[in-house]
Amino acid sequence: MESAFGRGGRQVIPRPATARAGGPAPWAALPEPRRRPIGAARVAEAVRSHHHALRGAERVVVDGIPDPGAPAAVLVPVFEEDGEARVVLTRRAAHLRSHRGEVSFPGGRLEEGESPERGALREAAEEVGLDPAGIELVGRLSKLGTVSSGTTITPVVALLPGRPALAANPTEVEHVFDAALSDLADPACFREERWAIPGRGDDFPVWFFELGDDTIWGATARMLVELLRLVLSV
């Protein structure tokens, strides 16, 4: 939907009336050679080392409330093509009860006793037909809590051996696509807004990536911001 801040595709972004523009991308000051190209090996090294720590408000969880619900996991699938690391994303089906049309990584709630890695791979197989053969699990990003889905999400980063053959499960996914991390690292692709926390006098950052006809925001955007900060060392 169109707004004073940007597009949202067919999804509904619950932007409060008090929302205001925020700051630039954390990597906006980097010269282009630092942002492009980004290869898969660079991503794997950054995630494995995980030496970078986000600070203060940048670690505020989605909706401003930590660890509110059931454990869930998403897979952040990365493959390299023409020297560029690309991430696999999905657009959620329009008939779902929640998060209709939103861009996300494949994933969902964990089954009893299931690890985030096993659950993320299972969900990716169910949602987009991702074959686990040859996949290298690299590491986890920080957990994110979201009230809207009642879950605490663990992102699991995985390297794929090449461009995968995928097929959207229409019961959950409308469209499967991929994006180069270096394109997401273009400062022109990124936007920050500040949203007020209900009942409190402060606000928190909400991040957006404008990508073609899709807007990436919410938990998925937060995962991408952390991944890019790790890779770009900012």
What letter represents residue 56's amino acid? Answer: G
Give residue 95's pLDDT.
58
Angle, vertex CA 52, rays to CA 50 and CA 55, nearest 5: 135
Region 172-186: what's the mean pLDDT?
Answer: 94
Q: What is the pLDDT of residues 85-106, one digit of tens each?
A: 999 999 877 555 555 568 999 9
What does the pLDDT look like over 61-78, one tens digit per residue?
444 445 557 899 999 999
Q: Which CATH class is domain 21-232?
A: alpha beta
Task: For residues 163 and 88, give the distance between their C-alpha atoms in angstroms, rounded to a whole number.
Answer: 9
Domain boundaries, the chain: 21-232
The count of other CB atoms within 10 Å of the CB of residue 134 is 10
Burial class (CB in 10 A: 0-12, 13-18, 19+), 31: exposed
pTM of the model: 0.88
Average pLDDT for residues 171-178, to the nearest whole number?
A: 89
Q: How confident is the model at residue 2 (pLDDT cuts 50, 70, 90)?
A: very low
Instruction: Identify whether the C-beta of residue 175 lies closer than 8 Å to the C-beta of residue 3.
Output: no
143 close to 154: Cβ distance less than 8 angstroms: yes
Average pLDDT, the chain: 85
The percent of residues above 90 in pLDDT, for the chain, comes to 62
